[in-house]
Chains A and B, each alone.
Chain A
């Protein structure tokens, strides 16, 4: 069992289309043929799957996966993994036989015994779905060399939930859409997206106005299309969203430049000098500042730092950084400190 590297942050790197797209992700769902899916498998069977996985990928020089036993690790470490988007909320619930294989760079991971036996995930900053698919495909082949996956000619890869059957592929993009939101165009864009077999949701908080203007867009349909088609569809829709967002930003720049500058600089000021700040307010102000950086209104700050802060200001990360448990009040103070340390 290894420890989590808290200091590694994938988002401290820049990626393509990074003025709008924060990160992209590909996930593949796979199951072993002869063992019941995790919702029905016995404790011993789930443990066996972790062992089998270890045997298959332990010696892989290329990836160097670390095994994290999610039953053994502390609650705070589970929270950290959740905040880094490396495990799902469901996977963070303590249960025997749940594990995460994670590489050093923390961009490739395999959740074992979440809803399916395997959830292969690859992440990258910016827009990079083609490369991600190539990587995920490689890991899939690597596992399949030694494990018999549940597969049917008709239904493709069999998954616990019928919404994942077929390719088992979920491709998603996390994007920052402040201008579409401010100019009230977001609902129209969202409506159009959902007609195309894609789902949109706020990354933080609920509803059509999520904290920090950060949205996640992903494919819903997994059966009947090839992986490449699913990814191309998401890519082309995303390209349009990127263009719409840039257009909306340009309109704001043309018509409201003074108000925009004022609002962004005020937000920057609050982030710089606040003594205490809630998570929701911080996300909103960071969104303003990121917009300011991307529009050239704020110059002496990198946008990647903002993406990194999105994770660093979350409760478990603040607690780890402080080295102890914190009350809500203390969290808000520590959050303000953390932001000021970075910007």
Chain B
């Protein structure tokens, strides 16, 4: 018997499917059988996204030294009372402050989920002013390095002054807040 799917290899898996009284027989080779979803009967009903995430999260606990581990797992968010263990079971943080409380665990977690650890998208219009200035400075610094590399020192000096200007503007803001 030749495989029904690839039509090449010898079929050694015989599948009989009865759906709503209709009988359907398929002969497959080992290769095609292993690729077929006929055999995934959804046996593992616990395989949800949250569990998957919990799986990613728990090694982060195990990898650290046990003493550290104990300390860290006792830490509880003072706003929402979530522990790291609760987070790793649910896959959900309880509030924005959890991000500060569990900060030392997040670097490796985010790396695993996103391959990145630094936001580079939209910044809130009203409150994101500081970050916007920071990004502007980084941008100007890049341009300045480029200008220096091209030996365009005049341009580099202009860019340096612009950076200073924004720098002092930011400091003024911080001082103003206190």
Task: List residues of A whose CB falls within 8 A of some B CB.
Answer: 31, 33, 35-37, 39-40, 115, 137, 140-141, 144-145, 148-163, 165-167, 169, 187, 197, 206-209, 221-227, 230
Check: B136 CB closer than 8 A to any chain A CB.
no
Please tell me if B23 contacts chain A, counting CB pairs below 8 Å: no
Q: Is B149 an interface residue (CB 8 A)?
A: no
The winner among B53, B92, B119 for most chain A CB atoms within 10 A is B119
| Cβ contact within 8 Å between B121 and A39 | no
Q: Is there contact, CB below 8 Å, between B118 and A150?
A: no
> Does A33 contact B116, Cβ atoms closer than 8 Å?
no
CB of B140 within 8 Å of the partner chain:
no
Q: Cβ of B109: which chain A residues have Cβ within 8 Å of it? A: 162
Judge if B170 is at the interface, Cβ distance under 8 Å. Answer: no
When the two chains form their complex, are residues B121 and A166 in contact, meaning their CB atoms are under 8 A apart?
Answer: yes
How far is B79's CA from A58's CA once the two chains are assembled, in angstroms?
31
Give the residue among B37, B116, B121, B125 with the most A Cβ atoms within 10 A.
B121
B115 at the interface (CB under 8 A from A): yes
Question: Which residues of chain B have C-beta atoms less than 8 A from A197's C-beta?
Answer: 115
How far is B35's CA from A148's CA once the two chains are assembled, in angstroms? 50
Q: Looking at the complex, which one of B90, B93, B95, B99 makes contact with A152 (CB distance below 8 Å)?
A: B99
Closest Cβ–Cβ distance, residue A51 to chain B (whole Å): 19
Please report the C-alpha to C-alpha distance between residue A40 and residue B124 in the assembled complex, in whole angstroms.
Answer: 24
Which among B37, B119, B125 is the interface contact of A141 at CB below 8 angstroms? B125
Among candidates A141, A160, A167, A230, residue contacting B93 with C-beta atoms closer than 8 Å:
A160
Q: CB distance B134 to A225 under 8 Å?
A: no
Q: Which residue of A lies closest to B109 (CB)?
A: A162
- Contact present for A36 and B94 (CB under 8 Å): yes
Inter-subunit contact B124/A149 (CB<8 Å): yes
